[in-house]
Structure 1
């Protein structure tokens, strides 16, 4: 029996698909048909978010390689490193049965992925484009690895944590709601699109995106805004938030010293905060940590340590594997 599922932008439900003796096929984000006869057991992940999520699903020994850009969990840093920018022979020599990539890699390095396929390796391109897609993306990883039940549990815990955070944010009166400018790239004065994961975490925590009229750049989650428009809102920006990481290598001093920024209300009042890029940009369960961190910046009297302890208990699971236990150490910081 052969089952077929087409993923159109990662929006088709994939959960509940039995693999017991049946082949299943689906179309990945790059338009390639993928056949699954049994769970993949030797996986190389070439996108750090894939790696985080695979560990969150309870995988460890099955992950035989990762990218040079891993930051979490600690176990990922101990895995052999592979790079899609280099010749594929090293990957082929590791004998993976599955290589996970994202559409950008498929577009930019077509000969690389083609050589992997010619070597008999299944290459799957997946990446969500929003929060709803993220749930289907987690389910896809579950199906590929035989961890469908774990994927559903991960989604359930994530949604439960979201509900808890939203209940908290609903207690904040409209008169106390903070208007926030969320910086994506300082040098280019760019912010995020309203549908981005970064603004999902901000609004979940009770913040108001003051740059809601920003326009997307090349259909990405990055949006153009410009210094002139930022400064035109100087008196209205209660909090200036900036992500920091590979995309935006900044510091509080760099932002404060930007000509004209001394006029911004948030800068004058000491309401400038830096958020770890990895907590708000990657489609992983750690988005919950990002939302709580933002909440603490905006409303420290509401998003207290005690509140975080309660939320982390929701995200924790008493029946975790060794790999998952390591992954969840972040909730004990």
Structure 2
């Protein structure tokens, strides 16, 4: 794992790395029953504003410093508008307008954008194994999220996919999910610049508050009946999504993103639909198809390849070096055998020097 964490010093390090994606996946399951009873922008604001306050309270208890200077607040505001307002707004509106499966595929494709941005801005090495892992990851979440009928149709029809098919595919909100994925990818990269001026945990809290205010502002103007139809179970689901799916999950994610390898960390996003499917099966009796199980398998392989890409590359180099070293004595012996007759012949042909 290309992140600045020592498992020997912190035994729960790897569990904490996976925790944000586990919490996001389970929060999606919790939110499924809430969406019909509320409005998308109000729900997005609920996930941000209270969570931001909780993070700032926790940061104050930990003694973390508040942002200072115009530079810090400008970066935090930009971070808030992109990763807070735009990401949560596009995500909430997209969930209402698109199918859960296709929407999940598009939102969880953001590791590709993060990898390209990290390669461009921070020169993070991806390599053959990394690109292979990213490709397998997108294939895996596609098998998980896309309907089986669509997959079989695309595989069986070959080029029989017209422009009208694609227009119909993106007519119900998928572009909003794609914009949400791009917003999250840019936000993941922005945290590196934000942390040059502010503490990552404090910046995460403020970005959720600043990013959530416009969502509630727009909701108060264009939406109605935001909370009147919410039952007790809905408020409990919102509470879980706010505390665990936002405050804890985003606090951990952006803390790791502030110092670790962004491509490796972002690749763990592929775990989110897996957790959503598994807990949907457990609590909502949703059944996984064989194609979805194949997608789970490919996704796990992709995460391993991305996070172990440097080790795999080094192992390959060591193997080649060992093979070269083993072949060297053979070549030397072979060359000696080839040269020895020539040497003997030259020595035999030398004239004797008489005393």
Greater fraction strand: 1
Q: Which has the higher helix share?
A: 2
Structure number with bigger Rg:
2
- Specify if TM > 0.5: no
Q: Relative contact order (C-alpha < 8 Å, sep 6+): which is higher?
A: 2
Give the TM-score normalised by the residue count of structure 2. 0.29
